A and B are shown apart, each in its own frame.
Chain A
């Protein structure tokens, strides 16, 4: 059936991935030769990510810029740490980082970026499109949602038709059992919270 041409430029989906898996990713690729074609980060569980959405605790923020503002934020989920960098070309995210007080629960929409260190390692970070403060309930929902999406990817990993899984096997190896463990770790942290009472009703950051 005729799909409307107006939909040809589709917005990229924001993938849900825990910090642990995200930081293991290093391979990027394009799906066309066009200079402006989107760049995708290949996730080890076999999915492409041009955009990610995550919620975590902003634990530190620093202006590491020399001539102009260049904010770095450390955002922690139950499995690891996301690094976000925002400068003058991400004015909204930069001003959010400037104004937020750590610790705070924040939701981040952004694009994966990779860079090579002096040692030749590939590090991955996020260039944020938005950073907004949220509460702990929303954060817990992200943990569950991200667990579900990660399990979905693990389910599809052995599917012959899954080309990203095939790429992931070539780039990162066959064994993805670590990411099942990541999911369990993340969910067990919610379980532990529950047993401690209900911290989910506590506001994330005290107002000054």
Chain B
């Protein structure tokens, strides 16, 4: 019951400005759903919250959360959580739609995260390089990647404090066991801001276009316990394989076939051990730094362990 009580207190606090709601009343409603109708707690919370929203005649993003928690951006691992952040505005991007007032990258010592601020929220604009305390932002998830949305209940406080922005990069190590399709010499859509990889000369968004050549590798690193998808961009591909874009184009021209580039790359790197470090984007690690693990095999400790069994 204590869990329900906590949830009830949270919900009651959210509506304290709008309705006269008691914790007992909320708890009773939750309890009815959870105990009598076997509704999962999350769904029950949602349902009860919605009923109060309707009663108060307000939208979901207009209610505040009683005491949101300050978190580090790299600790955000769930959708639709209300959190507070202490962050520096690292980068501002060009909004793709009029409904977006600002979009960019926020960072704290744990790493960086994308943020979006909507025009309808009528928030003050953030300045690049400045640090802020943001209260009541809500997390969002798309294909395993998290972002935060500012909303009309968000309070923005500029703070006079230099925040060191960390990098939330991961390092994966293991055998490179596959170079996947879409690797090697590829063509990208030339439309401004698109860069989608063309399939048979077609962009999924812009149809048939005259693509621009690029190099990349989508690879799989496997350590025998887990697999990691890794992307090497053009620079990383050139460094890893020694094949630059011009050389790749020449290879393809000579063979009248672009797939020779991926074949050559495959022969060079599949079956070797690598350590790859970079930020994660969805399920991919973007290879910022990497090294082939080609030192002498250190078998002594393993041998001692085996002999002790």
Chain A residues with CB under 8 Å of chain B are 1-2, 4, 6-7, 10-16, 53, 55, 92, 106-109, 129-130, 132-135, 137-138, 140-149, 151, 154, 180, 183-184, 187-188, 190-191, 200
Contact = CB atoms under 8 A, between A and B. Distances in A.
Interface stretch (B90-98, B110-118, B297-305): B297-305
Q: For chain B, which range describes its interface: under 10, 10 to 19, 20 to 34, or 35 or more residues?
A: 35 or more
B223 to A, nearest CB: 8
B8 interface: no
Contacts of B225: 13, 149
B266 to A, nearest CB: 7
B276 to A, nearest CB: 16
Contacts of A180: 306, 309
Interface of B: 77-79, 141, 143-144, 175, 177-178, 220, 222-227, 263, 266-267, 270-273, 282-283, 293-299, 302-303, 305-307, 309
A13 B299 contact: no
B303 A6 contact: no
A1 B222 contact: no
B78 A138 contact: no
A148 B298 CA distance: 11
B141 A143 contact: no
Contacts of B283: 4, 6-7
Nearest to A154: B309
B178 A143 contact: no
Nearest to B304: A187
A180 B307 CA distance: 8
B29 to A, nearest CB: 25
Nearest to A134: B271
A132 B309 contact: no
A151 B302 contact: yes
Contacts of A147: 299, 302-303, 306
B299 A187 contact: yes
A180 to B, nearest CB: 5
Nearest to A106: B271
B143 A6 contact: yes
A132 B267 contact: yes
B221 to A, nearest CB: 11
Contacts of A191: 299, 303
A28 B127 CA distance: 60
A133 B222 CA distance: 18
Given A132-B271, A141-B293, A180-B306, A1 B299 contact: no
A187 B270 contact: no
A90 to B, nearest CB: 14
B259 to A, nearest CB: 11
A12 B222 CA distance: 10
Nearest to A109: B177
Contacts of A106: 271
B224 A138 contact: no
Q: Identify the 4 closest CB pairs spanning chains A and B, nearest first.
A: A107-B271, A140-B297, A4-B144, A187-B303
A191 B304 CA distance: 12
Contacts of A154: 309
B262 to A, nearest CB: 11
13 contacts: A1-B77, A2-B79, A4-B144, A13-B224, A130-B266, A130-B271, A132-B266, A132-B267, A132-B271, A137-B295, A141-B293, A144-B299, A187-B299
Nearest to B175: A53
B296 A151 contact: no
Contacts of B224: 13-16, 53, 145-146, 149
A184 B306 contact: yes
A107 B272 contact: yes
A141 B144 contact: no
Nearest to B271: A107
A72 to B, nearest CB: 20
Contact of A14 (B177, B267, B302): B177
A137 B297 contact: yes
Contact of A138 (B223, B267, B273, B302): B273
Nearest to B292: A138
A110 to B, nearest CB: 10
A200 B294 CA distance: 11
Contacts of A107: 175, 270-272
B140 to A, nearest CB: 12
A6 B284 CA distance: 12
Contact of A141 (B143, B266, B297, B307): B297
